A and B are shown apart, each in its own frame.
Chain A
Amino acid sequence: MSTTLAQAQQEVVDEFAMLGDWQDRYEQLIELGRDLPLIAPEQRTDGNLVRGCQSRVWLHAAHKDGRIHFTADSDALITKGIVALLVRVYNDRTPQEILGTSTEFIDRIGLRQHLSPNRANGLSAMIDQMKRYALAFSE
Protein backbone atom coordinates (compact mmCIF):
# COMPACT_ATOMS: atom_id res chain seq x y z
CA MET A 1 0.00 0.00 0.00
CA SER A 2 1.64 3.17 -1.18
CA THR A 3 -0.58 5.68 0.56
CA THR A 4 -1.55 5.78 4.20
CA LEU A 5 -5.17 5.82 5.28
CA ALA A 6 -4.84 9.48 6.25
CA GLN A 7 -3.47 10.28 2.78
CA ALA A 8 -6.33 8.41 1.10
CA GLN A 9 -8.77 10.38 3.21
CA GLN A 10 -7.13 13.65 2.19
CA GLU A 11 -7.31 12.69 -1.50
CA VAL A 12 -11.05 12.25 -1.22
CA VAL A 13 -11.40 15.58 0.57
CA ASP A 14 -9.42 17.28 -2.22
CA GLU A 15 -11.46 15.60 -4.95
CA PHE A 16 -14.72 16.79 -3.45
CA ALA A 17 -13.38 20.30 -2.83
CA MET A 18 -12.87 20.64 -6.57
CA LEU A 19 -16.49 19.85 -7.34
CA GLY A 20 -18.98 22.64 -7.89
CA ASP A 21 -22.65 22.46 -7.02
CA TRP A 22 -24.88 19.78 -5.53
CA GLN A 23 -25.34 18.18 -8.91
CA ASP A 24 -21.59 17.64 -9.35
CA ARG A 25 -21.31 16.17 -5.86
CA TYR A 26 -24.13 13.70 -6.35
CA GLU A 27 -23.02 12.79 -9.87
CA GLN A 28 -19.57 12.08 -8.41
CA LEU A 29 -21.11 9.84 -5.73
CA ILE A 30 -23.23 8.00 -8.29
CA GLU A 31 -20.10 7.56 -10.42
CA LEU A 32 -18.11 6.20 -7.45
CA GLY A 33 -20.87 3.66 -6.85
CA ARG A 34 -20.18 2.11 -10.24
CA ASP A 35 -16.60 1.20 -9.17
CA LEU A 36 -17.62 -0.48 -5.92
CA PRO A 37 -16.15 -3.98 -5.47
CA LEU A 38 -19.45 -5.82 -5.35
CA ILE A 39 -20.26 -8.22 -2.59
CA ALA A 40 -20.54 -11.87 -3.71
CA PRO A 41 -24.18 -12.94 -4.18
CA GLU A 42 -23.87 -15.52 -1.36
CA GLN A 43 -22.73 -12.72 0.98
CA ARG A 44 -25.80 -10.56 0.27
CA THR A 45 -27.41 -11.87 3.42
CA ASP A 46 -29.48 -10.24 6.14
CA GLY A 47 -26.54 -10.85 8.46
CA ASN A 48 -24.37 -8.55 6.33
CA LEU A 49 -26.96 -5.74 6.25
CA VAL A 50 -25.72 -2.56 7.94
CA ARG A 51 -28.24 -1.60 10.58
CA GLY A 52 -29.19 2.06 10.67
CA CYS A 53 -29.39 2.66 6.93
CA GLN A 54 -32.74 3.52 5.36
CA SER A 55 -31.89 1.84 2.11
CA ARG A 56 -30.38 -1.63 2.16
CA VAL A 57 -26.58 -1.77 2.45
CA TRP A 58 -24.64 -5.01 2.55
CA LEU A 59 -21.04 -4.95 3.75
CA HIS A 60 -18.70 -7.91 3.92
CA ALA A 61 -15.10 -8.06 5.12
CA ALA A 62 -12.44 -10.71 4.53
CA HIS A 63 -9.14 -10.82 6.42
CA LYS A 64 -6.19 -11.87 4.28
CA ASP A 65 -2.44 -11.42 4.83
CA GLY A 66 -3.10 -9.03 7.70
CA ARG A 67 -5.31 -6.73 5.67
CA ILE A 68 -9.06 -6.31 5.41
CA HIS A 69 -10.78 -6.57 2.06
CA PHE A 70 -14.22 -5.00 1.89
CA THR A 71 -17.00 -5.73 -0.59
CA ALA A 72 -20.43 -4.11 -0.47
CA ASP A 73 -23.60 -3.18 -2.30
CA SER A 74 -26.75 -1.12 -1.90
CA ASP A 75 -30.07 -0.95 -3.68
CA ALA A 76 -29.90 2.88 -3.81
CA LEU A 77 -27.27 4.52 -6.03
CA ILE A 78 -26.35 7.46 -3.79
CA THR A 79 -25.96 5.14 -0.83
CA LYS A 80 -23.89 2.84 -3.00
CA GLY A 81 -21.67 5.82 -3.83
CA ILE A 82 -21.18 6.63 -0.17
CA VAL A 83 -20.26 3.05 0.72
CA ALA A 84 -17.96 2.93 -2.33
CA LEU A 85 -16.20 6.04 -1.08
CA LEU A 86 -15.60 4.42 2.29
CA VAL A 87 -14.48 1.16 0.73
CA ARG A 88 -12.02 3.02 -1.53
CA VAL A 89 -10.47 4.69 1.51
CA TYR A 90 -10.49 1.75 3.92
CA ASN A 91 -9.91 -1.21 1.60
CA ASP A 92 -6.88 -3.48 2.02
CA ARG A 93 -5.61 -1.83 5.18
CA THR A 94 -4.57 -3.39 8.45
CA PRO A 95 -7.05 -3.48 11.32
CA GLN A 96 -4.60 -1.37 13.36
CA GLU A 97 -4.51 1.39 10.76
CA ILE A 98 -8.30 1.48 10.49
CA LEU A 99 -8.75 1.60 14.24
CA GLY A 100 -5.95 4.12 14.71
CA THR A 101 -7.09 6.73 12.18
CA SER A 102 -9.69 9.38 12.84
CA THR A 103 -12.82 9.52 10.68
CA GLU A 104 -13.18 13.30 10.80
CA PHE A 105 -12.42 13.50 7.04
CA ILE A 106 -16.17 12.89 6.54
CA ASP A 107 -16.82 16.34 7.98
CA ARG A 108 -14.16 17.90 5.79
CA ILE A 109 -15.77 16.45 2.63
CA GLY A 110 -18.89 18.36 3.60
CA LEU A 111 -20.87 15.18 3.10
CA ARG A 112 -22.65 15.47 6.41
CA GLN A 113 -24.08 18.90 5.58
CA HIS A 114 -25.35 17.54 2.30
CA LEU A 115 -26.97 14.49 3.78
CA SER A 116 -30.27 14.22 5.58
CA PRO A 117 -29.90 13.28 9.28
CA ASN A 118 -31.10 9.79 8.37
CA ARG A 119 -28.44 9.42 5.74
CA ALA A 120 -25.78 10.87 8.03
CA ASN A 121 -26.75 8.20 10.55
CA GLY A 122 -26.42 5.61 7.83
CA LEU A 123 -22.95 6.91 7.02
CA SER A 124 -21.90 6.63 10.66
CA ALA A 125 -23.38 3.14 10.77
CA MET A 126 -21.24 2.09 7.78
CA ILE A 127 -18.02 3.42 9.36
CA ASP A 128 -18.89 1.80 12.68
CA GLN A 129 -19.46 -1.50 10.91
CA MET A 130 -16.05 -1.25 9.21
CA LYS A 131 -14.41 -0.51 12.54
CA ARG A 132 -16.18 -3.44 14.16
CA TYR A 133 -14.74 -5.74 11.48
CA ALA A 134 -11.29 -4.22 12.12
CA LEU A 135 -11.68 -4.79 15.85
CA ALA A 136 -12.80 -8.39 15.34
CA PHE A 137 -9.83 -9.11 13.03
CA SER A 138 -7.31 -7.43 15.32
CA GLU A 139 -8.01 -9.85 18.15
Chain B
Amino acid sequence: MKPATLDPAYRIEEIRAQFPILRELVHGKPLIYFDNAATSQKPRRVIKAVSAYYATINANVHRGVHTLSNLATEAQEAAREAVRRHINAKHAHEVVFTAGTTASLNLAAGSLAPLLLKQGDEVLISAMEHHANIVPWQLACERHGAVLKVIPVTEDGTWDLAQVPFSARTRILAISHVSNTMGTINPVKDLVAAARKRGITTVVDGAQAIPHLLVDVQDLGCDLYAFSGHKMYAPTGIGVLYGREELLERMPPWQGGGEMIDRVTFERTTYAKLPFKFEAGTPHIAGIIGLGEAVRWMKDHHLEAMAAHEHALLVYATKELLSIEGLRIIGTAKEKVGVISFLIDGVHHYDLGTLLDQQGIAVRTGHHCTQPLMDRFGISGTTRASFAPFNTIDEVDAMIAATKKAVKMLRG
Protein backbone atom coordinates (compact mmCIF):
# COMPACT_ATOMS: atom_id res chain seq x y z
CA MET B 1 0.00 0.00 0.00
CA LYS B 2 1.09 3.56 -0.68
CA PRO B 3 1.67 5.66 2.47
CA ALA B 4 -1.10 7.74 4.00
CA THR B 5 -0.93 11.25 2.66
CA LEU B 6 -3.83 13.52 3.37
CA ASP B 7 -3.97 16.06 0.59
CA PRO B 8 -4.19 19.54 2.17
CA ALA B 9 -5.95 20.75 -0.97
CA TYR B 10 -8.75 18.20 -0.42
CA ARG B 11 -11.73 20.19 0.82
CA ILE B 12 -13.26 17.74 3.25
CA GLU B 13 -15.65 20.25 4.83
CA GLU B 14 -17.00 21.15 1.40
CA ILE B 15 -17.64 17.48 0.68
CA ARG B 16 -19.22 16.84 4.08
CA ALA B 17 -21.57 19.80 3.69
CA GLN B 18 -23.14 18.07 0.71
CA PHE B 19 -24.38 15.05 2.65
CA PRO B 20 -27.41 16.06 4.74
CA ILE B 21 -27.44 12.76 6.63
CA LEU B 22 -24.16 13.62 8.34
CA ARG B 23 -26.11 16.02 10.55
CA GLU B 24 -28.12 13.14 12.05
CA LEU B 25 -27.48 11.89 15.57
CA VAL B 26 -27.36 8.18 16.45
CA HIS B 27 -27.98 7.32 20.10
CA GLY B 28 -27.44 11.03 20.72
CA LYS B 29 -24.03 11.06 19.03
CA PRO B 30 -23.03 12.47 15.63
CA LEU B 31 -23.25 9.72 13.03
CA ILE B 32 -19.95 8.20 11.94
CA TYR B 33 -20.80 6.25 8.83
CA PHE B 34 -18.33 3.51 7.94
CA ASP B 35 -20.76 1.25 6.07
CA ASN B 36 -20.26 2.83 2.67
CA ALA B 37 -19.60 -0.49 0.94
CA ALA B 38 -23.12 -1.60 1.88
CA THR B 39 -24.67 1.58 0.54
CA SER B 40 -23.31 5.06 0.01
CA GLN B 41 -24.95 8.17 1.43
CA LYS B 42 -26.53 10.59 -1.03
CA PRO B 43 -25.33 14.11 -1.82
CA ARG B 44 -27.98 16.82 -1.78
CA ARG B 45 -27.72 17.23 -5.57
CA VAL B 46 -28.89 13.65 -6.11
CA ILE B 47 -31.72 13.97 -3.60
CA LYS B 48 -32.80 17.21 -5.31
CA ALA B 49 -32.68 15.68 -8.79
CA VAL B 50 -34.96 12.83 -7.71
CA SER B 51 -37.40 15.13 -5.97
CA ALA B 52 -37.37 17.63 -8.89
CA TYR B 53 -38.28 14.82 -11.26
CA TYR B 54 -41.37 13.94 -9.22
CA ALA B 55 -42.23 17.60 -8.57
CA THR B 56 -41.88 18.89 -12.12
CA ILE B 57 -41.68 16.31 -14.95
CA ASN B 58 -43.10 13.03 -13.65
CA ALA B 59 -44.52 11.09 -16.61
CA ASN B 60 -44.02 7.74 -18.26
CA VAL B 61 -41.17 7.61 -20.75
CA HIS B 62 -40.96 6.64 -24.42
CA ARG B 63 -44.66 6.32 -24.98
CA GLY B 64 -46.38 9.68 -24.71
CA VAL B 65 -46.78 12.52 -27.14
CA HIS B 66 -47.25 15.04 -24.37
CA THR B 67 -44.69 17.49 -23.07
CA LEU B 68 -43.99 15.92 -19.69
CA SER B 69 -43.45 12.49 -21.21
CA ASN B 70 -40.95 14.01 -23.60
CA LEU B 71 -39.14 15.85 -20.80
CA ALA B 72 -38.97 12.69 -18.69
CA THR B 73 -37.69 10.72 -21.67
CA GLU B 74 -35.05 13.33 -22.39
CA ALA B 75 -33.91 13.37 -18.76
CA GLN B 76 -33.73 9.57 -18.68
CA GLU B 77 -31.76 9.34 -21.90
CA ALA B 78 -29.43 12.15 -20.79
CA ALA B 79 -28.67 10.05 -17.71
CA ARG B 80 -27.93 7.07 -19.95
CA GLU B 81 -25.49 9.20 -21.93
CA ALA B 82 -23.87 10.42 -18.67
CA VAL B 83 -23.38 6.81 -17.57
CA ARG B 84 -22.00 5.88 -21.01
CA ARG B 85 -19.42 8.64 -20.78
CA HIS B 86 -18.57 7.71 -17.18
CA ILE B 87 -17.68 4.10 -18.05
CA ASN B 88 -16.46 4.93 -21.57
CA ALA B 89 -18.87 2.61 -23.35
CA LYS B 90 -18.90 2.95 -27.13
CA HIS B 91 -22.67 3.46 -27.41
CA ALA B 92 -25.40 4.69 -25.05
CA HIS B 93 -27.52 1.68 -26.06
CA GLU B 94 -24.89 -0.56 -24.47
CA VAL B 95 -26.07 0.80 -21.09
CA VAL B 96 -29.03 -1.27 -19.87
CA PHE B 97 -30.85 -0.03 -16.78
CA THR B 98 -31.74 -2.68 -14.20
CA ALA B 99 -32.79 -2.73 -10.55
CA GLY B 100 -29.19 -3.12 -9.35
CA THR B 101 -26.14 -5.36 -9.57
CA THR B 102 -28.11 -8.40 -8.48
CA ALA B 103 -30.67 -7.84 -11.24
CA SER B 104 -27.87 -7.18 -13.74
CA LEU B 105 -26.14 -10.45 -12.89
CA ASN B 106 -29.41 -12.38 -13.01
CA LEU B 107 -30.07 -10.85 -16.42
CA ALA B 108 -26.55 -11.81 -17.52
CA ALA B 109 -26.88 -15.39 -16.26
CA GLY B 110 -30.49 -15.80 -17.36
CA SER B 111 -29.82 -14.58 -20.88
CA LEU B 112 -26.30 -15.91 -21.50
CA ALA B 113 -27.00 -19.41 -20.23
CA PRO B 114 -29.42 -20.52 -22.99
CA LEU B 115 -27.15 -18.84 -25.55
CA LEU B 116 -23.88 -20.41 -24.39
CA LEU B 117 -24.29 -23.34 -21.99
CA LYS B 118 -24.66 -26.99 -22.91
CA GLN B 119 -24.41 -30.16 -20.82
CA GLY B 120 -20.90 -30.41 -19.34
CA ASP B 121 -19.88 -26.83 -20.08
CA GLU B 122 -18.26 -24.79 -17.32
CA VAL B 123 -18.85 -21.41 -15.71
CA LEU B 124 -15.83 -20.01 -13.88
CA ILE B 125 -16.20 -17.70 -10.84
CA SER B 126 -13.85 -16.92 -7.93
CA ALA B 127 -13.93 -17.85 -4.25
CA MET B 128 -14.38 -14.21 -3.17
CA GLU B 129 -17.62 -13.59 -5.09
CA HIS B 130 -20.68 -12.01 -3.49
CA HIS B 131 -23.65 -14.40 -3.39
CA ALA B 132 -25.18 -12.30 -6.21
CA ASN B 133 -22.36 -13.47 -8.48
CA ILE B 134 -22.62 -17.09 -7.35
CA VAL B 135 -26.26 -18.09 -7.06
CA PRO B 136 -27.47 -16.87 -10.51
CA TRP B 137 -24.69 -18.97 -12.11
CA GLN B 138 -25.55 -21.97 -9.94
CA LEU B 139 -29.15 -21.71 -11.09
CA ALA B 140 -28.02 -21.39 -14.72
CA CYS B 141 -25.71 -24.39 -14.36
CA GLU B 142 -28.47 -26.51 -12.84
CA ARG B 143 -30.82 -25.64 -15.67
CA HIS B 144 -28.34 -26.45 -18.44
CA GLY B 145 -26.33 -29.28 -16.89
CA ALA B 146 -23.24 -27.09 -16.66
CA VAL B 147 -20.61 -27.12 -13.94
CA LEU B 148 -19.47 -24.26 -11.68
CA LYS B 149 -15.67 -23.94 -11.29
CA VAL B 150 -13.91 -21.70 -8.81
CA ILE B 151 -10.67 -19.70 -8.85
CA PRO B 152 -9.12 -20.15 -5.39
CA VAL B 153 -8.19 -17.22 -3.14
CA THR B 154 -4.79 -16.92 -1.45
CA GLU B 155 -4.09 -16.03 2.19
CA ASP B 156 -3.80 -12.29 1.45
CA GLY B 157 -7.20 -12.24 -0.26
CA THR B 158 -6.18 -12.21 -3.92
CA TRP B 159 -6.86 -14.64 -6.75
CA ASP B 160 -4.46 -17.54 -7.02
CA LEU B 161 -3.60 -16.89 -10.65
CA ALA B 162 -1.43 -20.02 -10.82
CA GLN B 163 -4.58 -22.07 -10.26
CA VAL B 164 -7.20 -20.64 -12.59
CA PRO B 165 -9.15 -23.70 -13.71
CA PHE B 166 -9.68 -22.70 -17.33
CA SER B 167 -10.61 -25.67 -19.48
CA ALA B 168 -11.73 -26.39 -23.02
CA ARG B 169 -15.30 -26.41 -21.64
CA THR B 170 -15.18 -22.98 -19.95
CA ARG B 171 -17.84 -20.80 -21.58
CA ILE B 172 -18.34 -17.95 -19.09
CA LEU B 173 -16.02 -16.15 -16.67
CA ALA B 174 -17.91 -14.16 -13.98
CA ILE B 175 -15.69 -12.29 -11.52
CA SER B 176 -15.70 -9.28 -9.23
CA HIS B 177 -13.61 -6.21 -9.99
CA VAL B 178 -13.25 -5.38 -6.28
CA SER B 179 -14.00 -7.69 -3.32
CA ASN B 180 -16.85 -6.37 -1.18
CA THR B 181 -15.55 -8.14 1.93
CA MET B 182 -11.83 -7.40 1.66
CA GLY B 183 -11.51 -4.45 -0.72
CA THR B 184 -9.05 -6.30 -2.97
CA ILE B 185 -8.72 -4.70 -6.41
CA ASN B 186 -8.51 -7.70 -8.73
CA PRO B 187 -6.39 -7.89 -11.91
CA VAL B 188 -9.56 -8.07 -13.97
CA LYS B 189 -8.05 -6.77 -17.19
CA ASP B 190 -5.42 -9.53 -17.34
CA LEU B 191 -7.84 -12.33 -16.53
CA VAL B 192 -10.44 -11.03 -18.98
CA ALA B 193 -7.76 -10.90 -21.71
CA ALA B 194 -6.73 -14.49 -20.95
CA ALA B 195 -10.36 -15.59 -21.08
CA ARG B 196 -11.15 -13.81 -24.30
CA LYS B 197 -8.16 -15.47 -26.00
CA ARG B 198 -9.93 -18.73 -25.22
CA GLY B 199 -13.21 -17.47 -26.59
CA ILE B 200 -14.80 -17.24 -23.13
CA THR B 201 -17.54 -14.66 -22.52
CA THR B 202 -16.59 -12.39 -19.63
CA VAL B 203 -18.88 -10.86 -16.98
CA VAL B 204 -17.56 -8.45 -14.35
CA ASP B 205 -19.33 -7.59 -11.08
CA GLY B 206 -18.30 -3.96 -10.65
CA ALA B 207 -20.52 -3.09 -7.67
CA GLN B 208 -17.60 -2.29 -5.36
CA ALA B 209 -15.29 -0.86 -8.04
CA ILE B 210 -17.53 1.80 -9.52
CA PRO B 211 -17.61 4.04 -6.39
CA HIS B 212 -13.80 4.18 -6.22
CA LEU B 213 -12.17 3.53 -9.59
CA LEU B 214 -12.42 5.19 -12.98
CA VAL B 215 -13.89 2.23 -14.82
CA ASP B 216 -13.26 2.09 -18.57
CA VAL B 217 -15.18 -0.87 -19.96
CA GLN B 218 -13.42 -0.73 -23.32
CA ASP B 219 -10.03 -0.76 -21.65
CA LEU B 220 -11.05 -3.66 -19.39
CA GLY B 221 -12.19 -5.51 -22.47
CA CYS B 222 -15.03 -7.37 -20.73
CA ASP B 223 -18.28 -8.36 -22.45
CA LEU B 224 -20.63 -7.42 -19.60
CA TYR B 225 -20.10 -5.15 -16.59
CA ALA B 226 -22.66 -4.93 -13.76
CA PHE B 227 -23.04 -2.27 -11.07
CA SER B 228 -25.52 -0.60 -8.70
CA GLY B 229 -26.47 3.04 -8.36
CA HIS B 230 -26.88 2.99 -4.60
CA LYS B 231 -23.22 2.29 -3.93
CA MET B 232 -22.19 5.28 -6.08
CA TYR B 233 -24.25 8.06 -4.45
CA ALA B 234 -27.41 7.33 -6.47
CA PRO B 235 -30.77 5.98 -5.20
CA THR B 236 -31.45 2.34 -4.39
CA GLY B 237 -33.30 0.21 -6.92
CA ILE B 238 -31.35 1.35 -9.95
CA GLY B 239 -28.39 -0.37 -11.58
CA VAL B 240 -26.69 -0.96 -14.88
CA LEU B 241 -25.67 -3.83 -17.04
CA TYR B 242 -23.18 -2.65 -19.62
CA GLY B 243 -22.81 -5.00 -22.57
CA ARG B 244 -20.84 -4.96 -25.80
CA GLU B 245 -23.29 -4.20 -28.57
CA GLU B 246 -22.48 -7.29 -30.59
CA LEU B 247 -23.11 -9.59 -27.60
CA LEU B 248 -26.26 -7.78 -26.42
CA GLU B 249 -27.67 -8.16 -29.95
CA ARG B 250 -27.23 -11.94 -29.76
CA MET B 251 -28.51 -12.34 -26.19
CA PRO B 252 -32.18 -13.32 -25.88
CA PRO B 253 -34.51 -11.08 -23.79
CA TRP B 254 -34.67 -12.03 -20.14
CA GLN B 255 -37.95 -10.51 -19.00
CA GLY B 256 -40.96 -9.89 -21.20
CA GLY B 257 -43.45 -7.03 -21.05
CA GLY B 258 -44.04 -3.51 -22.22
CA GLU B 259 -41.25 -1.29 -23.56
CA MET B 260 -39.20 -4.29 -24.75
CA ILE B 261 -41.31 -5.19 -27.79
CA ASP B 262 -41.44 -4.13 -31.40
CA ARG B 263 -44.62 -5.95 -32.44
CA VAL B 264 -46.74 -8.43 -30.50
CA THR B 265 -49.16 -10.95 -31.97
CA PHE B 266 -50.31 -14.19 -30.35
CA GLU B 267 -48.24 -16.11 -32.86
CA ARG B 268 -44.99 -14.21 -32.53
CA THR B 269 -43.36 -11.20 -30.88
CA THR B 270 -40.46 -9.23 -32.24
CA TYR B 271 -38.34 -7.28 -29.81
CA ALA B 272 -37.37 -3.67 -29.48
CA LYS B 273 -33.86 -2.56 -30.32
CA LEU B 274 -31.13 -2.09 -27.70
CA PRO B 275 -31.22 -1.22 -24.89
CA PHE B 276 -35.02 -1.50 -24.62
CA LYS B 277 -35.00 -5.24 -25.44
CA PHE B 278 -33.70 -5.71 -21.88
CA GLU B 279 -35.82 -3.05 -20.16
CA ALA B 280 -39.28 -4.57 -19.83
CA GLY B 281 -41.86 -2.48 -18.00
CA THR B 282 -41.81 1.10 -16.80
CA PRO B 283 -38.26 1.82 -15.68
CA HIS B 284 -37.22 3.37 -12.35
CA ILE B 285 -37.18 6.81 -14.00
CA ALA B 286 -36.47 8.77 -10.81
CA GLY B 287 -33.64 6.37 -9.99
CA ILE B 288 -32.17 6.71 -13.47
CA ILE B 289 -32.24 10.50 -13.22
CA GLY B 290 -30.66 10.27 -9.76
CA LEU B 291 -27.98 7.99 -11.17
CA GLY B 292 -27.20 10.47 -13.93
CA GLU B 293 -26.84 13.23 -11.34
CA ALA B 294 -24.62 11.02 -9.15
CA VAL B 295 -22.31 10.40 -12.09
CA ARG B 296 -22.08 14.15 -12.76
CA TRP B 297 -21.44 14.75 -9.06
CA MET B 298 -18.58 12.21 -9.07
CA LYS B 299 -17.03 13.92 -12.08
CA ASP B 300 -17.36 17.43 -10.62
CA HIS B 301 -15.69 16.31 -7.40
CA HIS B 302 -12.89 14.38 -9.08
CA LEU B 303 -13.38 10.73 -8.28
CA GLU B 304 -9.59 10.22 -8.26
CA ALA B 305 -9.08 12.87 -5.56
CA MET B 306 -11.85 11.32 -3.47
CA ALA B 307 -10.35 7.84 -3.94
CA ALA B 308 -6.93 9.14 -2.87
CA HIS B 309 -8.52 10.51 0.31
CA GLU B 310 -10.21 7.15 0.99
CA HIS B 311 -6.86 5.45 0.46
CA ALA B 312 -5.20 7.72 3.03
CA LEU B 313 -7.94 6.78 5.52
CA LEU B 314 -7.42 3.10 4.72
CA VAL B 315 -3.68 3.24 5.39
CA TYR B 316 -4.15 5.19 8.61
CA ALA B 317 -6.98 2.96 9.89
CA THR B 318 -5.05 -0.20 9.03
CA LYS B 319 -2.05 0.93 11.06
CA GLU B 320 -4.16 2.05 14.04
CA LEU B 321 -6.36 -1.06 14.09
CA LEU B 322 -3.31 -3.32 14.10
CA SER B 323 -2.24 -1.68 17.38
CA ILE B 324 -5.20 -3.44 19.04
CA GLU B 325 -4.04 -6.67 20.62
CA GLY B 326 -5.30 -9.81 18.90
CA LEU B 327 -6.67 -7.98 15.85
CA ARG B 328 -6.29 -9.62 12.46
CA ILE B 329 -7.17 -8.16 9.07
CA ILE B 330 -8.81 -10.37 6.45
CA GLY B 331 -7.63 -9.12 3.05
CA THR B 332 -4.11 -7.72 2.99
CA ALA B 333 -3.61 -7.34 -0.75
CA LYS B 334 -1.34 -4.58 -2.04
CA GLU B 335 -4.10 -3.12 -4.17
CA LYS B 336 -7.19 -2.28 -2.11
CA VAL B 337 -10.01 0.23 -2.00
CA GLY B 338 -11.03 1.77 1.34
CA VAL B 339 -12.42 -1.39 2.94
CA ILE B 340 -11.07 -3.16 6.05
CA SER B 341 -12.43 -6.43 7.37
CA PHE B 342 -11.11 -7.52 10.73
CA LEU B 343 -11.42 -10.00 13.57
CA ILE B 344 -10.41 -9.60 17.19
CA ASP B 345 -9.47 -12.61 19.34
CA GLY B 346 -12.19 -13.43 21.84
CA VAL B 347 -14.59 -10.82 20.44
CA HIS B 348 -17.64 -11.76 18.37
CA HIS B 349 -18.30 -9.37 15.48
CA TYR B 350 -21.98 -8.94 16.46
CA ASP B 351 -20.99 -7.83 19.93
CA LEU B 352 -18.47 -5.38 18.53
CA GLY B 353 -20.91 -4.03 15.92
CA THR B 354 -23.57 -3.51 18.61
CA LEU B 355 -21.24 -1.68 20.96
CA LEU B 356 -19.87 0.50 18.14
CA ASP B 357 -23.45 1.39 17.16
CA GLN B 358 -24.12 2.50 20.72
CA GLN B 359 -21.25 4.94 20.24
CA GLY B 360 -22.72 6.31 17.00
CA ILE B 361 -20.48 4.34 14.65
CA ALA B 362 -22.01 2.35 11.77
CA VAL B 363 -19.98 -0.63 10.57
CA ARG B 364 -21.01 -3.88 8.93
CA THR B 365 -20.78 -7.23 10.69
CA GLY B 366 -21.34 -10.75 9.48
CA HIS B 367 -20.46 -12.74 6.39
CA HIS B 368 -21.05 -9.85 3.95
CA CYS B 369 -22.92 -12.19 1.55
CA THR B 370 -19.68 -14.08 0.93
CA GLN B 371 -20.15 -17.31 2.87
CA PRO B 372 -17.76 -19.33 0.65
CA LEU B 373 -15.05 -16.74 1.36
CA MET B 374 -15.76 -17.04 5.11
CA ASP B 375 -15.39 -20.83 4.73
CA ARG B 376 -12.09 -20.28 2.88
CA PHE B 377 -10.73 -18.42 5.92
CA GLY B 378 -12.50 -20.71 8.43
CA ILE B 379 -14.40 -17.85 10.06
CA SER B 380 -18.08 -17.05 10.55
CA GLY B 381 -17.87 -13.32 9.87
CA THR B 382 -15.91 -10.12 10.29
CA THR B 383 -16.39 -6.51 11.24
CA ARG B 384 -16.03 -4.32 8.16
CA ALA B 385 -15.32 -0.60 8.02
CA SER B 386 -15.58 1.01 4.58
CA PHE B 387 -14.71 4.60 3.78
CA ALA B 388 -16.24 7.39 1.73
CA PRO B 389 -14.93 10.76 0.55
CA PHE B 390 -16.62 12.50 3.51
CA ASN B 391 -14.96 10.44 6.25
CA THR B 392 -12.21 12.01 8.35
CA ILE B 393 -9.12 11.00 10.30
CA ASP B 394 -10.95 12.12 13.47
CA GLU B 395 -13.72 9.66 12.70
CA VAL B 396 -11.17 6.87 12.29
CA ASP B 397 -9.68 7.85 15.66
CA ALA B 398 -13.18 7.72 17.19
CA MET B 399 -13.69 4.23 15.75
CA ILE B 400 -10.37 3.03 17.17
CA ALA B 401 -11.20 4.45 20.62
CA ALA B 402 -14.73 2.98 20.50
CA THR B 403 -13.35 -0.40 19.44
CA LYS B 404 -10.88 -0.40 22.33
CA LYS B 405 -13.69 0.46 24.75
CA ALA B 406 -15.89 -2.34 23.35
CA VAL B 407 -13.06 -4.87 23.55
CA LYS B 408 -12.49 -3.93 27.19
CA MET B 409 -16.20 -4.42 27.98
CA LEU B 410 -16.34 -7.76 26.17
CA ARG B 411 -13.15 -9.21 27.59
CA GLY B 412 -14.34 -8.13 31.08
- Where the two chains meet, the residues of A that have a C-beta atom closer than 8 Å to any C-beta of B are 22-23, 26-27, 30, 54-56, 75-79, 114, 116, 119
Contacts and interface: CB of A to CB of B under 8 A. Distances in A.
Contacts of A119: 354
A55 B350 CA distance: 7
Contact of B351 (A23, A56, A77): A77
Contacts of A27: 409
Contacts of A30: 409-410, 412
B358 A26 contact: yes
Contacts of A26: 354-355, 358, 409
Contacts of A76: 348, 350-351
Nearest to B366: A54
Nearest to B27: A22
A55 B349 CA distance: 9
19 contacts: A23-B358, A23-B409, A26-B354, A26-B358, A26-B409, A27-B409, A30-B409, A30-B412, A54-B350, A54-B366, A75-B348, A76-B350, A76-B351, A77-B348, A77-B351, A78-B354, A79-B350, A114-B358, A116-B357
B211 to A, nearest CB: 25
A38 B159 CA distance: 42
Nearest to B367: A54
Interface of B: 27, 348, 350-351, 354-355, 357-358, 366, 380, 409-410, 412
A77 B357 contact: no
A55 B381 CA distance: 10
A82 B412 CA distance: 17
A138 B350 CA distance: 35
A59 to B, nearest CB: 17
Contacts of B355: 26, 78
Q: Which secondary structure dominates where chain A touches chain B?
A: helix
A24 to B, nearest CB: 11
A55 to B, nearest CB: 5
The 4 A-B pairs at the shortest CB distance, nearest first, are namely: A76-B348, A76-B350, A22-B358, A55-B350
A78 B366 CA distance: 15
Contacts of A56: 380
A67 B1 CA distance: 61
A27 B412 CA distance: 9
Given A22-B27, A54-B366, A75-B348, A116 B409 contact: no
B412 A75 contact: no
Contacts of A79: 350-351
A124 B183 CA distance: 35
Nearest to A55: B350
Nearest to A76: B348
Contacts of B409: 23, 26-27, 30
A78 B351 contact: yes
Contacts of B350: 54-55, 76, 78-79
B344 to A, nearest CB: 12
Contacts of A54: 350, 366
A109 to B, nearest CB: 16
Contacts of A77: 348, 351, 410
B282 to A, nearest CB: 31
A77 B350 CA distance: 9
A55 B357 contact: no
A54 B351 CA distance: 11
Contacts of B357: 116
Nearest to A54: B350
A103 to B, nearest CB: 22
Given A23-B358, A23-B409, 10 more contacts: A26-B355, A26-B358, A54-B350, A55-B348, A55-B350, A75-B380, A76-B350, A76-B351, A77-B410, A78-B351
Contacts of B348: 55, 75-77
Nearest to A79: B350
A23 B409 CA distance: 8
| Residue among B27, B348, B355, B358 having the largest count of chain A Cβ atoms under 10 Å | B348
A121 B244 CA distance: 45
Contacts of B354: 26, 78, 116, 119
| Residue among A27, A55, A75 having the largest count of chain B Cβ atoms under 10 Å | A55
A56 B373 CA distance: 19
Contacts of A114: 358
A23 to B, nearest CB: 7
Nearest to B410: A77
